[in-house]
Amino acid sequence: MAGPKVAPWTEIPRQDGRRFVVTGANSGIGFETAKALAGRGAHVVLAVRNATKGEEAAAQMPGSVEVRTLDVSDLSSVRAFAADVGDVDVLVNNAGILGVPEGQSADGIELHFATNHLGHYALTNLLLPRLTDRVVVVGSQSHRSGVLDLDDLDWKRRGYSPYGAYAQSKLANMLFLAELQRRLTAVGSSLRVTGGHPGSTVTAITGNTGNALKTWIGSWGHGLVGMPAWKGALPTLFAATMDVPGNTYVGPHRLREMSGWPVPVGRSSSASDPELAKALWVASEKLSGVSFPLA
């Protein structure tokens, strides 16, 4: 049975005079998000690990863009970036890794958790006093299979699973979204937190698994059924520019949210657990040394 008809959405509102930071903006969803925002009049900071690739990406974008170095997996890099970037209207926490071999960040944190969650947790809280509008969290349908074990974040007791580690980090994204919005509301802040996920989209995120077969399967599968990156970026752009309430989560409208136009979507019961969200916040604060600055 066909679901409700959803109108195509591509008309991003004008963003003149607004300043965005997009992490991981040199390729994939981040690139398309930054390019679209710049094309609608925003000034966009491309926060990238590799400055050369960032400059190459910037050369393909219209409008006003700048490149700044940020390794979101490295807390010292996060602190340096946050101290120097200035005032920001919208922060888009996009950078991520998927299915990489077991490894630790410069701070000794499992790489998926460090990159996909902890670095963005720290960056967001460091920038909150200079944010004027919102934080956007880029999630994944993989959060639904995530199991967050706060006693085994480094996967020593469970035995390392690259896709389990990714799913755990994406569940952490969702819990962070909800808990940050709860805290902002509690202190009377007008800032909001929204999120979006790209469904099945063709990007290079599966290109660093360290396993040729898994990399090929991931790329082949997304290439077969996935949306082009510009369309996969639309939920993020919707969450970043439309007047939606805090804690709104946006994804593609079709079956299993794999493809389609951006609409508000649901999340797993674990992602909606307020006690788990609070516990994750406490753990993130301890691991990063960064606290909520508006209390």
Report which residue type is found at 272.
Answer: S
Query: Which residue(s) pair with 238 in the sheet?
Result: none
Q: Residue 213: its pLDDT value, please?
A: 45
Instruction: Kindly tell me if the per-residue pLDDT of 263 is higher than 70.
Output: yes
Helix (H) / strand (E) containing 67: strand 64-69
| Calpha distance 277→62 (Å, rounded) | 39
Say yes or no to pLDDT of 187 above 80.
Answer: yes
When pLDDT is cut at 50, 70 and 90, the band that residue 204 belongs to is low
DSSP label at 201? Answer: B
Residue 121 bears catalytic tag: no
Alpha helices in 40-87 (DSSP H): 51-58, 75-84
Sign of CA dihedral 284, 286, 290, 292: positive
- For a pLDDT cut of 90, what percent of the chain falls above it? 86
Nearest CA to 240 out of 116, 139, 133, 131 is that of 133
Matching residue, tokens 């794999």: 258
**Pick from 36, 58, 39: nearest CA to 47:** 58
Question: Looking at residue 295, what is its pLDDT?
Answer: 78
Distance CA 12, CA 40 (A): 7
DSSP class of residue 266 equals -
- DSSP conformational letter for 3: -
Decide if 251 contacts 199 (C-beta within 8 A): yes
Across residues 95-119, what is the average pLDDT?
97
What rounded mean pLDDT belongs to the chain? 92
Q: Which domains does the chain have, with CATH numbers?
A: 19-286 (3.40.50.720)
Residue 220, pLDDT score: 44
pLDDT at 222: 46
Over residues 58-65, mean pLDDT: 98
List, in order, residues 6 or more apart from 108 with CB less than 8 Å away.
none
The active-site residue, picked from 121, 160, 166, 249, is 166
Rounded distance between C-alpha atoms, residue 237 and residue 260, angstroms: 14
Does residue 294 have a pLDDT over 80? yes
CA-nearest of 30, 31, 39, 34 to 11 is: 39
Residue type at 286? K
- Among residues of the chain, what percentage have pLDDT more than 70? 91
Burial annotation 91-105 (CB, 10 A radius, 16+ → b, else e): bbbbbbbbbbebeeb
Q: Determine the pLDDT at residue 254.
A: 84
Q: Tell me the three state secondary structure of residue 173.
A: helix
Task: Check pLDDT > 50 for residue 1.
Answer: no
DSSP states along 6-33? ------PPP-TT-EEEEETTTSHHHHHH
**Position 15 confidence tier, pLDDT thresholds 50, 70, 90:** very high
pLDDT, mean of residues 128-150 = 97
Query: Considering only CA atoms, which of 175, 78, 173, 163 is closest in space to residue 116?
Result: 173
